[in-house]
Amino acid sequence: MTGKLPFEALSVETLSMRLGTNDALCARIGKDTANWKVREVGDGNLNLVFIVEGDKGAAVVKQALPYVRLVGDSWPLPLKRSFFEYHALTRQEARAPGSVPAIHHFDEGQALIIMEYLSPHIILRRALIEGRQLPNIARDIGLFMARTLFRGSDLSMAAKDRKADLALFADNVELCDITENLVFSDPYFDARMNRHTSPQLDGLVAELRADRDLKVEAQRLKHLFAANAETLLHGDLHSGSIMVTDTETRMIDPEFAFYGPMAFDVGMLLANFWMAFFSQRGHEQAGHEQKEKRDAMRAYLLDVTVETWSVFRAEFSHLWRTERTGMLYQKSLFEDQGDRLGAEQALDHVLHQIWDDLLGFAGIEIHRRILGLAHNADFETIADEDLRAACEAKALKFGRHLAVNRRQIHSIDEVNNLAALIEQESRI
Ligand code: SR1
Ligand code: MG
């Protein structure tokens, strides 16, 4: 298959015929297509994802569709998101080696990427729902975020290179538009595609939608998201975009990549740990042992937020001191003048800004997963609607506090104490 043919969506039936002569795929899994086994496993909102197994091995074939899979062809979405995903993956691999799947082949015309099959990895969100504690995720994701966010910014890159990259990703308009609407605006009014656990949450939802301070804060965050082209973001770094084993962590799916504020990726990620925390009650089966397991899981999740933020800060600070080669806070103004303290003072300001903003982004990410179109499995797999609504209500209150009071919150322990306090409340 070449990039010159018109786009055609693959299927389980046609994949072997259409990709049977692809050198990269054959080299990886073997050329005897009669022995290929193809499964479609995409459970995300947008794309097709196939696992193809042959005599010699396996690979993943991910293909964009010209519409939003979750909604159908009434919502067209350009195929070029595959181009942005490919370019984001190459940059992430260069900036944080070993943190993303290896790419075997990219076909722009067919909007498909053939990449490494990660096995026995599973989606992090699924592991957290099952109550599995992964020992390395905080370190691995903290390092990934610090390295990609620092090295994709004017703190590190030559201005000319960064501006060229900024121009390339600026065309990812439609995926940014999804985030701009679904994350920052729709949850705060009665938008057409919104849904929530009803009627249990109706009262609280009405309260949040009438909350002027919250709406203003959500729009300030949207302003920041749209106008602060600080670094190349993953753009959709939630627990469904991360694959894990007990020892390995890989980030996947950066099709929402674009130049935005560093705090966006960090806030979205931490929000997903806090949502996992508030959803644990819904996955607790009856019995003392089960309660103990989920108590341990709750403690683990809060520890993960502490460690992720601490690893992020430590690595970001390390890169600041050793790799600050860009045009911002130049060494010529600080270290080269014998003013190391000045460089540390500036680092402190930058980290403080990321902290303030990440709390806001975390708050609204939590809201959109409960009030908007795209919910997450942490809450959705809680079958008992009253229990689900009780978990969601706590998360909504927590999110509101983060978004509105973020400048008055000074440490992650403070945030986690609040989460624990809200979790202990028994009523909606
Ligand atoms: C219509 S797309 C909905 C959501 O799915 C993706 O994973 C992003 O999170 C997006 O906001
Ligand atoms: Mg995705």
Q: Residue 71 CA: which ligand is closest?
A: 1
**What is the SS3 assignment for 180?**
helix
Q: Which atom of ligand 1 is nearest to the CA of 373?
A: 3
**φ, ψ for residue 58, nearest 5 deg:** -140, 160
211 Cα–ligand 2 center, Å: 30
Angstrom distances, CA of residue 9 to CA of 6, 77, 78:
10, 14, 13
Residue pLDDT tens, the chain, 428 long = 544 789 999 999 999 999 999 999 999 999 999 999 999 999 889 999 999 999 999 999 999 999 999 999 999 999 999 999 999 999 999 999 999 999 999 999 999 999 999 999 999 999 999 999 999 999 999 999 999 999 999 999 999 999 999 999 999 999 999 999 999 999 999 999 999 999 999 999 999 999 999 999 999 999 999 999 999 999 999 999 999 999 999 999 999 999 999 999 999 999 999 999 999 999 998 888 888 999 999 999 999 999 999 999 999 999 999 999 999 999 999 999 999 999 999 999 999 999 999 999 999 999 999 999 999 999 999 999 999 999 999 999 999 999 999 999 999 999 999 999 999 986 44
Q: What is the dihedral of CA 87, 93, 98, 99, to 10 degrees?
A: -60
For atom 7 of ligand 1, the residue with the nearest CA is 45
Opening angle at CA 280, ends 386 and 427, nearest 5? 40
| All domains of the chain in start order, with CATH | 15-116 (3.30.200.20), 122-424 (3.90.1200.10)
CB under 6 Å to ligand 1: residues? 44-46, 68, 70, 178-179, 182, 236, 374
Which helix H or strand E contains 356, and what residues bound it? helix 340-371
Residues 204 and 153: their CA atoms lie apart, in Å, by: 39
182 Cα–ligand 1 center, Å: 8
69 Cα–ligand 2 center, Å: 11
Closest CA to 236 of 41, 46, 9: 46
